[in-house]
């Protein structure tokens, strides 16, 4: 929390509408020695539907396992988010803590424990203290409602700014609102979505349709970002639909407004995903990597991620060095079809290599100017097929090392 705000942070926050059926409260449970709130409790109206995408890590937290089981039911009455302790790799003690949080919240609301969704973020390997969790919940239950930004700040760990976004759509003749809050700065390499993100809408949406829409949005957004190639044990993105807008419930692609809702949800996820990259630990540059001409979209995605995850590429960008040879290296190591003599590379709008060779006499001046900016574009054309993908990452600086060397202190 002592790190200065990322230079890539937005200059202003959007105007965030209230979502009927969503009440946010925060409290200080004291999971770490922070002089701030670290527990968020969100009460959701009866009838709220839910969908989610969760980490594919083989070492998931008890919270992830709890949410995975609860999502099958498709209903939600509450969300509890703890910051400062991920409760991951904590065995039965971790599971007991999640069960206690769900039980206490369910008792407060008069609902089933399975209607309570729990997420935690922070240090791995330390069991979440049940006494602090329960005391924090009791304090949250009795506290006054807070705004979206307060909730977003409460779920932060190494984040340097609160991350929020909003979209709207017309569904069944009604204007529906969507608001998202997210946290994430390090341990960002999507194997679905690498952070904690929560989306709220007043639209009425069938849980199965909401799940399909969120999964599709995730594929092109959260699963296309990376900061450091490390996938978290706790990654959770949940979408809650209260139905308060009064539209006919969306259940299929042919329903009136379904396309508009899906587009708004995708746009919201894209905004949230890029906010995470903009707050990458130690980041000074946002990097967009586009790969085209691959044998398939999947192949293009894997090559793009190989480039985006390369420490050599990321440090070259940090140093504003147009070292396109490192891009060649990252393409070659991806394990996907590529032919050296068909490969072309550009930085910004400038072609630097084409058909396996440096462009004869290319002027490095515009490339140097491009690399001095805060938003960098790298383009690769494999010349093999129609596959295409775009991913986003950030540069790798000394700041990343400093933040992670001191993370537990």
Pairwise CA distance, residues 396 & 401, whole Å = 9
pLDDT in tens, 287-301: 999 999 999 999 999
Q: Is 166 annotated as a binding residue?
A: no
Place of tokens 């504003």: 320
Distances (CA, A) of 331 to 291, 354, 372, 390: 10, 14, 24, 14
Place of tokens 């539209």: 247
Name the residue range of residue 302's domain. Answer: 286-405
Pairwise CA distance, residues 75 & 242, whole Å = 10
Pairwise CA distance, residues 299 & 305, whole Å = 10
Contact 183, 35 (CB under 8 A): no
Q: Is 247 annotated as a binding residue?
A: no
Q: Is 404 annotated as a binding residue?
A: yes
Q: Is 132 annotated as a binding residue?
A: no
Query: CA nearest 393: which of 316, 307, 325, 312?
Result: 307
Are 242 and 373 part of one and the same domain?
A: no
List the catalytic residue out of 194, 221, 242, 350.
Answer: 194
Q: Would you call 408 exposed, middle or buried from its count of C-beta atoms within 10 A (0-12, 13-18, 19+)?
A: exposed
Pairwise CA distance, residues 327 & 297, whole Å = 19
Are 217 and 350 part of one and the same domain?
A: no
Are 345 and 247 part of one and the same domain?
A: no
Residue 306: which CATH number? 3.10.20.340
Enter the pTM of the model: 0.92
Contact 327, 313 (CB under 8 A): yes
Are 330 and 241 part of one and the same domain?
A: no
48 confidence band (pLDDT: 50, 70, 90) = very high
Residue that finishes a domain, picked among 247, 278, 309: 278
Pairwise CA distance, residues 6 & 3, whole Å = 8
Q: Is 183 annotated as a binding residue?
A: yes
Query: CA nearest 118: which of 140, 139, 135, 133?
Result: 133
Across 129-147, average pLDDT? 98
55 confidence band (pLDDT: 50, 70, 90) = confident
Are 47 and 171 part of one and the same domain?
A: yes
* pLDDT for residue 229 is more than 70: no
Are 114 and 256 part of one and the same domain?
A: yes
Q: Is 157 annotated as a binding residue?
A: yes
Residue 11 lies in a domain: no
Residue 166 lies in a domain: yes
Give 401 or 24, the one with higher predicted confidence.
Answer: 24
Pairwise CA distance, residues 307 & 378, whole Å = 9
Span of 170-174, 177-181, 290-294, 397-401 with lowest mean pLDDT: 397-401
Structure-block tokens of residue 191: 């194997």
In 303-356, beta strands by DSSP E: 344-347, 350-354
284 annotated active-site: no
């Amino acid at each position: 929390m002592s790190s200065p705000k990322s230079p890539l942070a937005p200059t202003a926050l959007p105007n965030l509408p209230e979502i009927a059926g969503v009440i946010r409260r925060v409290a200080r449970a004291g999971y770490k020695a922070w002089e701030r709130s670290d527990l968020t409790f969100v009460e959701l109206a009866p009838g709220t539907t839910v969908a989610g995408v969760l980490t594919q890590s083989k070492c998931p937290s008890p919270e992830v396992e709890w949410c995975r089981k609860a999502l099958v039911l498709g209903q939600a009455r509450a969300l509890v988010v703890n910051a400062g302790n991920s409760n991951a790799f904590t065995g039965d003690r971790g599971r007991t803590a999640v069960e206690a949080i769900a039980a206490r919240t369910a008792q407060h609301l008069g609902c089933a424990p399975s209607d309570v969704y729990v997420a935690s973020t922070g240090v791995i390997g330390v069991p979440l203290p049940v006494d602090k969790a329960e005391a924090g919940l009791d304090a949250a239950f009795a506290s006054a409602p807070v705004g979206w930004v307060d909730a977003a700040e409460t779920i932060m760990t190494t984040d340097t700014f609160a991350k929020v976004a909003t979209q709207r759509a017309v569904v069944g003749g009604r204007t529906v609102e969507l608001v998202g809050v997210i946290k994430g700065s390090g341990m960002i390499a999507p194997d679905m979505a690498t952070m904690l993100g929560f989306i709220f809408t007043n639209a009425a949406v069938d849980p199965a349709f909401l799940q399909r829409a969120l999964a599709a949005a995730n594929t092109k957004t959260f699963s296309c970002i990376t900061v450091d190639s490390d996938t978290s044990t706790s990654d959770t993105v949940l979408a809650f639909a209260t139905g308060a807008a009064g539209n006919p419930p969306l259940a299929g692609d042919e329903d009136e407004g379904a396309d508009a809702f899906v587009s708004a949800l995708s746009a919201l996820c894209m905004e949230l995903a890029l906010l995470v990259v903009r707050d990458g630990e130690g980041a000074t540059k946002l990097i967009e990597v586009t790969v085209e001409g691959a044998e398939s979209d999947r192949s293009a995605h894997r090559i793009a991620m190989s480039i985006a995850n390369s420490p050599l590429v990321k440090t070259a960008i940090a140093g504003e060095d147009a070292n396109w040879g490192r891009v060649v290296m990252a393409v070659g190591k991806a394990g996907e079809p590529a032919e050296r003599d068909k490969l072309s590379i550009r930085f910004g709008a400038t072609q630097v290599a084409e058909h396996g060779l440096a462009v004869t006499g290319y002027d490095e001046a515009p490339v140097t100017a491009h690399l001095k900016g805060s938003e960098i574009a790298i383009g690769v054309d494999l010349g093999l097929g129609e596959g295409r993908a775009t991913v986003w990452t950030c540069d790798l600086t000394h700041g990343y090392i400093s933040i992670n060397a001191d993370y537990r202190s």
